[in-house]
Amino acid sequence: MNSERPLAIVAGAGAGLGQALAARFENGGYQVVGLGRTKPEAVSGRFQTLDLADETAVPDAIADLIKAHEAPKVVIHNTAELVISPFLETSLGDHQRTWASMVQSAVLLAQSVIQPMIAAGGGTFIVSGATASLRGGARFSAFASAKFALRGLSQSLAREFQPAGIHVSHVILDGIIDTPRSRALHALDPLKMIRPVDIAESYWQLAHQPKSAWTHELDLRPATEGF
């Protein structure tokens, strides 16, 4: 086993926030393994191609990582499947795909890591939420319903496993994350967007809070964002 550096797993380690998270924890002394369907061009730490909604592949992949590196100290669930369409044009398949990408993947990830983390003395499990975690908008039925479910799952995990030493934190990202893709899509002033490196710094702080003052839910937004 490689126990020189603690393991951090970033599920949904694509370009943008996923890689900013991987870079922050890699620079902080962790052995980072990113997981996702598509490998980004630039990668921090290691990257493993994986369908995070695959009920067979995920437990096997996590078991292999734990065997090689010991149980993770930090696990971040950062997957997303954004469907924007009128409700009557949003198919059941759209809802199922969105739920599988964000909720089923979180269930599989948590089932695979929580018990080993408890046995190893605890750790942190962080879930990326969104504005849609709190309120559903027109044309966001699939995305919002999955994000609501993910928030409820995070609350349940926190209440069940916090006494066993697992810090479960849900982060509401209330704003547009600054990436080349989002700049092209929204034509928004970057000063009104959330920088991935700044989000990553907040995740780092959550992962290192003392047990006497744990944060379960944190909302992050640009200073210009209305709320």
pLDDT, tens digit (0-9, with 9 covering 90-100), for 170-226: 999 999 999 888 887 788 888 899 999 999 999 999 999 999 999 999 999 999 999
Q: Residue 2 domain-assigned?
A: no
In this prediction, residue 1 carries a pLDDT of 46
Burial of 77 (0-12, 13-18, 19+ CB in 10 A): buried
- Centroid of chain to Cα 159: 19
Q: Residue 13 domain-assigned?
A: yes
d(CA 104, CA 34): 18
| Average pLDDT across the chain, whole number | 96
Question: For residue 9, what are the β-bridge partners?
Answer: 33, 75
Q: Residue 1 domain-assigned?
A: no
Confidence of residue 151 (pLDDT cuts 50, 70, 90): very high
Task: Let me know: does 104 contact 59? Beta carbons within 8 Å.
Answer: no
Domains of the chain: total: 1
Q: Residue 67 domain-assigned?
A: yes
In the chain, the percentage of residues whose pLDDT exceeds 70 is 99
Q: Is the pLDDT of residue 2 over 70?
A: no
Q: Which amino acid makes up residue 216? A: H
Q: From 5, 42, 16, select the one nearest 198 (Cα to Cα).
A: 16
The whole-number average pLDDT for the span 149-155 is 98
In this prediction, residue 3 carries a pLDDT of 54
Q: Residue 227 domain-assigned?
A: no
Q: Residue 225 domain-assigned?
A: no
The domain containing residue 92 runs over which residues?
7-220
Q: Where are the alpha helices (DSSP H) in the chain?
A: 17-27, 57-69, 92-99, 105-119, 141-161, 180-186, 196-207
Q: Residue 91 domain-assigned?
A: yes
Q: Residue 15 domain-assigned?
A: yes
The whole-number average pLDDT for the span 122-136 is 98
Q: Is the pLDDT of residue 81 over 50?
A: yes
Q: What is the CATH number of the domain that holds 19?
A: 3.40.50.720
Which H or E element spans position 47? strand 46-49
pTM of the predicted structure, to 2 decimals: 0.96
In this prediction, residue 179 carries a pLDDT of 87
